[in-house]
Structure 1
Amino acid sequence: MGKTAADGQAEDMNDRLQGKRFRRSNDNRFLAGVCGGIADYFGIDANIVRLVFVVLTVLGFSGVFVYVLALLIMPAEGERHSLLEQIIRNFQGKPGQN
């Protein structure tokens, strides 16, 4: 059977999504690169993401909690595992892997 146009579009979308992942930014960082990584993922300015975190914190929603959670979950650029994965591996006594 031959490929249809929909199959080709699905493969193109899958290829684009494979390379696009949440990563903490090494270049666009103020504290830990979380806002820069989120901004890179969505293609927006990092200052907008930082402003959203500040507004969430001021309005009572814990922007700090969300930031720390993202810091633990998002791996840095060039690393395979997140900080949380590394902590869990160390707790289990397994060697760290990057």
Structure 2
Amino acid sequence: MNKLFRSRTDSKLTGLCGGLAEWLGINATLIRLIVVIAALCSFGTVVLIYIIGCLLVPKTPLHPYDITPPYHS
């Protein structure tokens, strides 16, 4: 199962749309377009959800081993 991260490589503002597109396996431009249209039609609700998502979803780890939980002995 893939984990959702904000993208470090496909980032325009915060990397949330790039990470979501990578997680879903679709084009990031399509996600960005959907977010902009939804933000214009929702009177700011999508903007609030986007900000909350940016605060809750972590950035992609710099090293692949950072994804696994630490082992305790």
- The answer to whether the superposition gives a TM-score over 0.5 is yes
Aligned position for 1:41: 23
Which has the higher Rg, Structure 1 or Structure 2?
1
Aligned position for 1:28: 10
Aligned position for 2:61: 78
Mark the runs of 5 or more structure 1 residues left unpaired by the alignment. 1-16, 81-98
Q: Runs in 1 of length 4+ with deviation above 6 angstroms?
A: none
Q: TM-score, normalised by structure 1?
A: 0.59
Output aligned runs, 1:7-26, within 5 Å. 17=1, 20-26=2-8
Aligned position for 1:54: 36
Shift of 1:32: 0.6
Aligned position for 2:47: 64
Q: Percent identity?
A: 31
Shift of 1:25: 0.1
Shift of 1:34: 0.3
